Amino acid sequence: MVRVFVDTNVLFPFSLMDLMLSLTEDAVHAVVWSDHLLEEWERVIVREQHRSASAAARISMAIREFFADTRVPEEDYKYLLDRLVGPDPGRLLVVPEGL
């Protein structure tokens, strides 16, 4: 099955998040995610005032629980972070894509 690492902009708006996660449920692809991704998503969705902090946390928790088998643990990609060139703090999100 194809593994897809989505960036925060794919999880927002909710229609895209719903589509991507539904396709994972239907075994079309597997959305892989990291804790860093969900933490960034929570910050963005609250900052943009589309959800309260508690609502965003509940959504992230549901993803963590329901899609636990597609989580990419930080220890699986942390060693690659030093190899990335540039100051982009988003690099924490990009590395799991290559795993």
pLDDT digits (tens, 9 = 90+) for 25-61: 999 999 999 999 999 999 999 999 999 999 999 999 9
Distance CA 93, CA 39 (A): 10
The mean of the pLDDT values for the chain is 85
Helix 35-47 / helix 53-66 crossing angle, nearest 10 deg: 150
pLDDT classification of 85: cutoffs 50, 70, 90 = low
Place of tokens 């897809």: 4
Structural tokens at position 67: 């899609």
pTM (two decimals): 0.78
Per-residue pLDDT at 9:
84
Per-residue pLDDT at 76:
87
- Number of C-beta neighbours around residue 31 at 10 A: 21
What are the C-alpha distances in Å from 23 to residues 29, 45, 52, 75, 92? 6, 22, 26, 27, 25
